[in-house]
Amino acid sequence: MNFLKGQSAIEYLTTYGWMILAVGVATAFLFQTVERPCINTSSGFLGQNTEITDYGITTSGNFTMLVKNNKQAQINITEIVIEKDGIGLLKKTNNTQIEPFREKVVNAGDGLEAGNKCTEFRITIYHDIKGLDKQRSSGIIRTHSGIGEEPLSPQNISVTN
């Protein structure tokens, strides 16, 4: 009687095992080929003096962000530095004052391009607050940009009639 139970289990594994294996291979293939969406995110600013609550790259290449003052005193943004992979892309001297717990649109400079590639940038905001000069808030943002995209070459262009 026990022999029949073991035989039944082996028959089940040989009958359905190939299907389980095929589903596993197909799932792995999909995870490798399907591109994950690039979601605009801002991280690392929580608990700091300033916070980027929204941002974007205009069609003219200006990087604009909405900066929030998280302190009870007015801050004066003096400089904004944007880096990618440790390389400075933009450095803009600024003189923007933000009242306590308010948000203000700040132009961080031009020279970035909107594009299709998902890119992470390190943003450092230098500011003065209550006589303390060169205070720093930094974090990472993720957005679509043209930085690092391959330029179109004749091999990449397909012509259809």
29 and 57 assigned to the same domain: no
Which of 63, 51, 74 minimizes the C-alpha distance to 140? 51
Give the range of the structural domain holding residue 29, as residue numbers without chain letter: 1-34
Tell me, yes or no, whether 79 lies in a domain.
yes
Per-residue pLDDT in tens (0 to 9) along the chain, 161 residues: 556 677 787 888 788 888 888 999 999 888 888 777 778 888 888 889 999 999 888 777 788 899 999 999 999 999 999 898 888 888 888 889 999 999 999 988 787 777 778 888 899 999 999 889 999 999 999 887 765 444 333 333 333 33
107 and 46 assigned to the same domain: yes
145, containing H or E segment? strand 132-145
Which of 110, 108, 118, 111 minimizes the C-alpha distance to 144? 118
Tell me, yes or no, whether 10 lies in a domain.
yes
pLDDT of residue 102: 95
CA angle 7, 8, 9 (to 5 degrees): 90
